[in-house]
Amino acid sequence: MPKSPKPATGRSDSGKAKTAAKSAARNTDSGPAKAGPGPAGDLPSEKMAQVQDLAAALPFNSTKPMEHGAENGKAPPAGQTATPASRLPTGSTLSEDNGSEKTGSVAPEGVNSTIEPLDRVRVDSSGQVLTTNQGVAIADNQNSLKAGVRGPVLLEDFILREKITHFDHERIPERIVHARGSGAHGFFEAYEPLTQLTKAAPFQEAGKITPVFVRFSTVQGERGSKDTARDVRGFAVKFYTDEGNWDLVGNNMPVFFIQDAMKFPDLVHAVKPEPHHQMPQAASAHDTFWDFVSLMPESTHMLMWVMSDRAIPRSYATMQGFGVHSYRFVNDAGESVFVKFHWSPMAGTHSLVWDEAVKISGADPDYHRRDLWERIEAGNFPEYELAVQVFTEEQAEQFSFDILDATKIIPEELVPLRPVGRMVLNRNPDNFFAETEQVAFCTAHVVPGIDFSNDPLLAGRIHSYVDTQISRLGGPNFHEIPINAPVVQVHNNQRDGMHRQAIHRGRVSYEPNSLAGGCPFQAGAQQGFVSTALRIKDREQDKVRAKPEKFADHYTQARLFFESQSPVEQDHIANAFRFELSKVTVPAIRERMVSSLRNASEVLAKKVADGLGMDPMPDPMPPALAKPPAPEVAKSPALSLLFRPGDGSIKGRKVALLVAPGMEGESIATVQAALAQQGAVGRLVGPRIGPVKTAAGEMLDADASLENEPGFLFDGLVLPDGAEAIAALSQDGHTAEFIKDQFRHCKTILVFGEARKLLAQAGVPVSMDKSQAQGGTGLILAGTDQAREAADAFVQALGKHRHFGREMDPPLV
């Protein structure tokens, strides 16, 4: 530490004055009436003199007048500061440079060390002995301390008690919504500077890299619930920018159920397991949800999305993400435009089918978590493009809908998407709890260049997220948990609270101050966050609890969504409504929902009513707005999942190659190699795991079994030739189920030689007219001598994801 300089003031140097200065400087509870006689050649009196000089350098609060008036409000000044003569006057203590292995040295000047890279908290125990939390080596981790080998356990066993007590407190409250989630680290890379639009740090230069942490989640279920529930998926991104953290807390659907935060607790109470018996878990198919939404017609648009296949994504890597609300971009000149954020997966948008999702939830509740983890471990990094829809206030006023209404999209055909960068998820967390569970996203976390709109749902969220972290993470210092700390310096006068990590140097924790030379000082408009100065147009209005008129159009965009879907997607939406409403026990609720759906689409309502045995249909529900304005766009192809098929790559896909003794091995090996080359995983699945001898006497090793990895867990299937193997597989009832599921879920199936007998046994038709007409069945029959061509055809068909031409309702097999 820089020692204080020798006394340099022109104050009195007499012996008496020196003694007085020395003794005055040794008190912490009173001081002289005037500036003391000056330093007396020792540190306490030097510090006292420098404190006096520092405080005197700020004789009044020079920025006070600038706290007033609208103009100053838009451009606040930087705070006033004074530079101390040395580090002496701002320190907490004169003893700070008595360092040790524990204290280290003095706080480096102007640095908050708690923001150092996560390495500072990573722990690796290689070659280390077990210790208690106090670092005491544990000699015996097998036995508690007893009075004699058969005697009672002693209270004195502090090792046992520490271990059990910590264990007892391992759980923290789970998130009230989005409890079930999975996370990954990665980076965002900007394509081009967006300086004209925004001063937000990630968008300032082409190629600029910003670290991110992303957490995907379901909404309804508890922390241990299944991944493949029909549900909205959270898509929350924390950007660790060089101007602080920006959290873009979005979903995989661009709209929401409600328009005002006031209704959020009602919505969540309605969808969660019913309070009397806590059923059903992670499912909206029950009375209270449909009771609520059928009385809230503004939810119709969102219902279309959650009844569509968007609600059962194949993978987190194959779903879109949306910021939902209109936000603002703000540039250096303080000019702002509206912006909506869209993430689109490079691998294309692909979903499951409902029967498959239900079965997966039993066999592998961690299906999405596992997929994300495995993709990253295998180097198939999930990648998304970020695009923005940018529009002005004037444009917004012309739209037939209100851009503050979170139940509305802005069709891409009306405001095109502008790609601005890409995000790559390339690192799995080291520890689920420390990172994925403790990460705290907050819509209130914005940086200069990003600002809010007046969306009333967003306003509620700005409050809610910080508030929820306080109870979930045990206090107001959750920002210091390593995963939440920004990569930039944090300096303010907040102190104390549960689990405080930072050790602040000095005695000043207020502003303005002179005793720390004014530091930390307010940044001012140049560097700091300034809320966009917006004209409050409605200020002549009364204070009200009401919605803008355009919010009352509840059906136009629900219709837009439904009518923009492919026939298969429309069928799936109708089937999902049928399924969910069939689970409702009160007919009046079902009828109410169908009466509401009639306002969105008669075709859909009729299909749903038919599926529910509802004849005649109830009358359409009286709409809140009789004559909504004509929409700008009547069909938006971009709303179909088929609009973003991706690049046809099969990276990260899983294929089952069935194996059994006596099989023809070469053809299977050829397909397995072709899959590996494309970044897909071909797994050998046998009647049991373990060695399998091929007809040629080669040994293969099945690493999965028909029992432990059922057919619906795979994206495709290959059946081997070989009479003995086919006989063995046909003896196992799992094989037929395996094939049936693959067929029913429209997956790609490659059948070598005589294995077509297994198809017949499973009741699978080899050719289907409907399917041929829609581009093929995805069923490839080949001789083992054509293995190479068959493998190519298989890889290509797998890239199409599914072959819906095969789908029947009800299913044929």
- Kindly list the residues in this chain that would bind ligand HDE in the complex (CB under 6 A): 175-178, 181, 215, 217, 234, 236, 249-251, 256, 261, 264, 324, 406, 441, 457, 460-461, 464-465, 468
Helices marked H in 10-149: 15-24, 43-56, 70-74
**Which C-beta is closer to ligand HDE: that of 324 or that of 692?**
324
Q: In the complex, what is the shortest distance from the CB of residue 782 to ligand HDE, in angstroms, rounded to a whole number?
A: 45
Q: In the complex, what is the shortest distance from the CB of residue 543 to ligand HDE, in angstroms, rounded to a whole number?
A: 20
Question: Quick one: residue 83, left, alpha or beta (phi over 0 = left, psi -120 to 50 = alpha)?
Answer: beta
Q: Where are the beta strands (DSSP E) in 587-703?
A: 654-658, 681-686, 690-693, 699-702
Q: In the complex, what is the shortest distance from the CB of residue 297 to ligand HDE, in angstroms, rounded to a whole number?
A: 18
**Which C-beta is closer to ligand HDE: that of 81 or that of 220?**
220
Reduced to 3 states (helix: H, G, I; strand: E, B; else coil), residue 562 is helix
Q: In the complex, what is the shortest distance from the CB of residue 247 to ligand HDE, in angstroms, rounded to a whole number?
A: 8
Contacts of 664 (CB under 8 A, 6+ apart): 694, 695, 696, 720, 721, 722, 725, 752, 753, 784
Q: Residue 40's Cα: distance from chain center in Å?
A: 60
- Cα(308)–Cα(321) distance, integer angstroms: 15
Residue nearest to ligand HDE (CB): 234
Reduced to 3 states (helix: H, G, I; strand: E, B; else coil), residue 300 is helix
Q: In the complex, what is the shortest distance from the CB of residue 288 to ligand HDE, in angstroms, rounded to a whole number?
A: 18
Q: In the complex, what is the shortest distance from the CB of residue 441 to ligand HDE, in angstroms, rounded to a whole number?
A: 4
Segment holding 356, helix H or strand E? helix 354-363
Residue 659 corresponds to which tokens in the numbers above? 């194996």
Triad 306, 307, 308: Cα angle to 5°? 90
- Cα(685)–Cα(693) distance, integer angstroms: 13
Active site residue 178: yes
Q: In the complex, what is the shortest distance from the CB of residue 184 to ligand HDE, in angstroms, rounded to a whole number?
A: 12
How far is CA 789 from each of CA 474, 599, 755, rounded to the nearest angstrom?
60, 51, 18
**Which C-beta is closer to ligand HDE: that of 89 or that of 183?**
183
**Which C-beta is closer to ligand HDE: that of 223 or that of 550?**
223
Place of tokens 């020798």: 6
CA gyration radius, the chain: 33
**Which C-beta is closer to ligand HDE: that of 267 or that of 762?**
267
Active site residue 251: yes
Residue 770 corresponds to which tokens in the numbers above? 């409907």
What sign does the dihedral 216-222-225-231 (CA atoms) show? negative
Q: In the complex, what is the shortest distance from the CB of residue 265 to ligand HDE, in angstroms, rounded to a whole number?
A: 8
- Cα(537)–Cα(721) distance, integer angstroms: 75
**Which C-beta is closer to ligand HDE: that of 89 or that of 313?**
313
- Cα(315)–Cα(227) distance, integer angstroms: 10
- Cα(72)–Cα(78) distance, integer angstroms: 11
Q: Closest Cα to residue 476, out of 485, 466, 486, 484?
A: 466
- Cα(449)–Cα(196) distance, integer angstroms: 11
- Cα(130)–Cα(132) distance, integer angstroms: 7
Provide the β-strand partners of residue 452.
327
Q: In the complex, what is the shortest distance from the CB of residue 214 to ligand HDE, in angstroms, rounded to a whole number?
A: 9
Tell me if 695 sits within 8 A of 665, measured CB to CB. Answer: yes
Tell me if 448 sits within 8 A of 198, measured CB to CB. Answer: no
Among the options 112, 185, 245, 251, which is catalytic?
Answer: 251
Q: What are phi and psi of 620, to 5 degrees?
A: -60, 145
Question: Quick one: residue 73, left, alpha or beta (phi over 0 = left, psi -120 to 50 = alpha)?
Answer: alpha
- Cα(133)–Cα(163) distance, integer angstroms: 9
Q: What are phi and psi of 478, to 5 degrees?
A: -65, -20
**Which C-beta is closer to ligand HDE: that of 236 or that of 605?**
236
Among the options 112, 178, 428, 554, which is catalytic?
Answer: 178
**Which C-beta is closer to ligand HDE: that of 4 or that of 407?**
407
**Which C-beta is closer to ligand HDE: that of 233 or that of 802?**
233
**Which C-beta is closer to ligand HDE: that of 322 or that of 712?**
322
Cα atoms found within 13 Å of the Cα of residue 454, Cβ hemisphere only: 12
Q: In the complex, what is the shortest distance from the CB of residue 223 to ligand HDE, in angstroms, rounded to a whole number?
A: 11
**Which C-beta is closer to ligand HDE: that of 478 or that of 752?**
478
Tell me if 743 sits within 8 A of 762, measured CB to CB. Answer: yes
Provide the β-strand partners of residue 238.
213, 247
How far is CA 449 from each of CA 486, 549, 671, 735, rounded to the nearest angstrom?
17, 30, 51, 58
Q: In the complex, what is the shortest distance from the CB of residue 298 to ligand HDE, in angstroms, rounded to a whole number?
A: 13
Tell me if 35 sits within 8 A of 48, measured CB to CB. Answer: no
Q: In the complex, what is the shortest distance from the CB of residue 466 to ligand HDE, in angstroms, rounded to a whole number?
A: 8
Q: In the complex, what is the shortest distance from the CB of residue 465 to ligand HDE, in angstroms, rounded to a whole number?
A: 4
**Which C-beta is closer to ligand HDE: that of 473 or that of 655?**
473
**Which C-beta is closer to ligand HDE: that of 325 or that of 359?**
325
- Cα(789)–Cα(376) distance, integer angstroms: 30
Whether cis (ω within 30° of 0) applies to the bond prior to 476 is no
Q: Where are the beta strands (DSSP E) in 45-170?
A: none
Sheet with 779-782, strands from edge to edge, namely: 704-705, 681-686, 654-658, 716-719, 748-752, 779-782
Reduced to 3 states (helix: H, G, I; strand: E, B; else coil), residue 557 is helix
Catalytically active residues are 178, 251
